[in-house]
C-alpha cells in the first residue's frame, strides 16, 4: 500500500481540502493516508472528519492516525507539511508586539520582515528534525511544503535536509483569476506566465489569442486607484515597476520600504493597509473553528468537491504518468538567471511519472529581480543564522530587511532582535 503522510493534520479545514481532493482521485485509491499532529484533540477531530468523508464519497483510502511522527513518515511516498511552530499564542503575539514597541508595524509577518525572520528561526529546527526522520524511514519521498516562510523553509529542506522538496503556495493559481475579477475583465482563454520568488513572483506575461492584455489591465488599475480598494499596494507597484505581483497587497506592504512608515502615517490610509491583520485573522479562525467543528467533525454526510490545491494533481500526475503544470518553489538551479543560485525561486513546473521538472525562465525584468533580491538577502541570512547558530546573522538578516531597515537604526534593530530572542525563550535554539 502506498502512503501519503500529512504532518500538521489538525489543520482540519486545510486537511479536508488537500486530503479530500486526494480521496477523490482514482489513481490514489487504496493509498494509506497517515495523519500526525502534536495536538491529540485536533488530530482525533481530523481522523473522525476524514473517515466520515471517506465513507460519504466511497473512497478506498485508509485513514490512519499515528501518535509518533517518525512512524507516520515510515515508508511514505508523499509527505505534506502544514505545521505552525509556536502558534498564535505565544509566538505570533510576540512577533507583533515587540516590534510594535519599537514603532515597527506589520501586517502579516510570516514571510520576511522581523516576524518572518523569527518564524523561520523557530520553524527551521523542526523542519530539519522532520528531514532527519525522513532520511531514515522514507528518503525517497516527495515533500510538499505548504508552510511559511515558504522560500527559506523549502530551501532548508532541500539544501540542508537533503529531501526532495517542492513548496506550494496559493498565490500563483489565484493571481490572474482574482486580478481579472477585481478589474471586471473576462478571464476565459487567458494565458499567463509567472515567475520570481514566493509571495513576490511576477505576472510576466498575460495574453489572449496572442494579444498582450497588460495595457488594458494597467488602464483599469489606474482608474481604480482613484478610490480606496483592497489591492492598492499591488496596483501602485505595477504602476511604477511595470508588473503585477502574485501575493496580496497586505503582504507586499511589508516586503518593501515604501508603504508602512512611521514618518508618513497618512500612507496607511492612502493605500488602505491593514496593520496587525494576521493576529486578527488568527483570532477569527479560532472563533470560526468553534462554530465549524460540529459541521466538519461530526457530520456523517460530509461531502467534498475538488479544490484548486495542487497536491492531489501532482500525486495523480506521478501515479498515472500524465502531465500537470503548476507554480512551484524550488532551488534556483539556473532557472532564473539574474537571481542568486542559493535562492529558492517560484517558477512554472511540470510533473509526470518521472517526477517534478522545474522550467527555465531566464532573466526577470531587472527591476523585478532587484526587488526580489532585497527579500532574498534576508532569507539567506536567516538561513545562515539558523544553520550556524550565530546571533550576528540574525542581526544581519534584520538589518537587510527592506521594511525594518527603512524604519529603525542599527542599534534599534539589534536591541529589538535581542528582545525577540529573549521573549521566544525555548521556542528558539540557543544562539551564540
Q: Which residues are tagged catalytic?
A: 170
Spatial contact of 141 and 75, defined as CB atoms under 8 Å apart: no
* Nearest CA among 330, 312, 329 for reference residue 320: 312
Q: Who contacts 237 (Cβ-Cβ below 8 Å, separation ≥6)?
A: 244, 245, 252, 256
Report d(CA 316, CA 27) in Å as an integer: 6
Q: Is 87 left (phi over 0), alpha (psi -120 to 50) or beta?
A: left
Which cell numbers in the block locate residue 307?
Answer: 479544490
Which cell numbers in the block locate residue 117?
Answer: 525572520
Check the CA dihedral 96-388-157-15 and report its sign.
Answer: negative
Torsions phi, psi for 383 (to 5 deg) = -60, -45
Report d(CA 6, CA 8) in Å as an integer: 6
Spatial contact of 57 and 303, defined as CB atoms under 8 Å apart: yes
β partners of residue 362: 336
- Count how many Cα atoms sit within 13 Å of the Cα of residue 330 in the half-sphere of its side chain: 22
**SS3 assignment, position 325:** strand
Q: What is the dihedral of CA 56, 315, 17, 273, to 10 degrees?
A: -170
Report d(CA 429, CA 52) in Å as an integer: 40
Which cell numbers in the block locate residue 397?
Answer: 538578516
Q: Is 199 flagged in the annotation as binding? A: yes
Max CA distance (Å), the chain? 61
**SS3 assignment, position 230:** coil
Q: Is 52 flagged in the annotation as binding? A: no
Q: Is 169 flagged in the annotation as binding? A: yes
Task: Supply the angle between the helices 40-56 and 277-297 in degrees, to the nearest 10.
Answer: 50
Q: What is the dihedral of CA 402, 107, 168, 179, to 10 degrees?
A: -100
Which cell numbers in the block locate residue 36?
Answer: 500526525
**SS3 assignment, position 260:** coil
**What is the CA 330 to chain-centroid distance, rounded?**
13
* Residue 182 DSSP code: H
Residues contributing to the annotated binding site for Mn(2+): 169, 199
Residues contributing to the annotated binding site: 148, 169, 199
Amino acid at each position: 500500500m502506498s502512503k501519503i503522510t500529512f504532518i500538521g493534520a489538525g489543520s482540519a479545514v486545510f486537511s479536508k481540502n488537500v486530503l479530500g481532493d486526494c480521496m477523490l482521485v482514482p489513481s490514489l485509491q487504496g493509498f494509506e493516508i497517515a495523519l500526525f499532529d502534536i495536538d491529540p484533540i485536533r488530530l482525533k477531530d481530523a481522523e473522525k472528519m476524514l473517515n466520515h468523508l471517506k465513507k460519504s464519497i466511497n473512497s478506498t483510502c485508509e485513514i490512519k492516525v499515528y501518535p509518533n511522527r517518525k512512524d507516520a513518515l515510515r515508508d511514505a511516498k508523499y509527505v505534506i507539511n502544514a505545521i505552525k511552530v509556536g502558534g498564535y499564542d505565544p509566538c505570533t503575539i510576540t512577533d507583533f508586539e515587540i516590534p510594535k514597541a519599537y514603532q515597527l508595524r506589520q501586517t502579516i509577518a510570516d514571510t520576511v520582515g522581523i516576524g518572518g525572520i523569527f518564524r523561520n528561526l523557530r520553524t527551521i529546527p523542526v523542519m530539519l528534525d522532520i528531514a532527519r526522520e525522513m532520511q531514515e524511514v522514507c528518503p525517497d519521498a516527495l515533500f510538499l511544503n505548504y508552510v511559511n516562510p515558504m522560500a527559506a523553509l523549502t530551501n532548508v529542506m532541500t539544501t540542508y535536509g537533503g529531501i526532495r522538496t517542492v513548496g506550494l503556495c496559493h498565490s500563483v493559481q489565484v493571481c490572474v483569476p482574482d486580478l481579472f475579477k477585481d478589474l471586471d475583465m473576462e478571464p476565459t482563454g487567458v494565458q499567463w506566465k509567472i515567475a520570481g520568488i514566493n509571495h513576490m513572483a511576477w505576472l510576466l506575461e498575460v495574453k489572449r489569442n496572442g494579444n498582450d492584455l497588460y495595457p488594458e489591465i494597467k488602464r483599469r488599475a489606474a482608474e481604480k486607484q482613484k478610490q480606496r480598494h483592497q489591492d492598492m499596494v499591488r496596483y501602485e507597484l505595477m504602476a511604477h515597476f511595470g508588473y503585477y505581483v502574485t501575493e496580496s497587497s497586505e503582504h507586499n506592504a511589508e516586503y518593501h520600504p515604501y508603504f508602512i512608515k512611521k514618518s508618513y502615517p497618512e500612507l496607511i490610509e492612502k493605500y488602505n493597509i491593514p496593520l496587525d491583520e494576521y493576529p486578527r485573522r488568527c483570532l477569527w479562525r479560532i472563533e470560526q473553528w468553534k462554530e465549524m467543528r460540529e459541521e466538519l467533525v461530526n457530520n456523517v454526510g460530509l461531502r467534498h468537491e475538488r479544490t484548486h490545491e495542487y497536491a492531489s494533481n501532482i500525486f495523480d500526475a506521478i501515479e498515472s504518468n500524465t502531465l500537470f503544470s503548476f507554480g512551484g518553489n524550488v532551488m534556483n538551479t539556473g532557472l532564473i538567471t539574474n537571481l542568486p543560485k542559493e535562492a529558492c525561486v517560484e517558477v512554472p513546473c511540470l510533473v509526470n511519472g518521472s517526477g517534478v521538472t522545474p522550467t527555465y525562465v531566464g532573466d526577470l525584468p531587472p527591476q523585478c529581480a532587484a526587488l526580489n533580491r532585497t527579500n532574498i538577502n534576508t532569507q539567506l541570512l536567516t538561513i545562515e543564522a539558523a544553520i550556524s547558530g550565530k546571533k550576528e546573522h540574525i542581526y544581519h538578516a534584520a538589518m537587510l530587511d527592506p521594511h525594518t531597515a527603512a524604519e529603525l537604526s542599527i542599534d534599534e534593530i539589534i536591541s529589538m532582535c535581542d528582545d525577540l530572542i529573549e521573549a521566544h525563550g525555548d521556542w528558539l535554539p540557543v544562539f551564540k
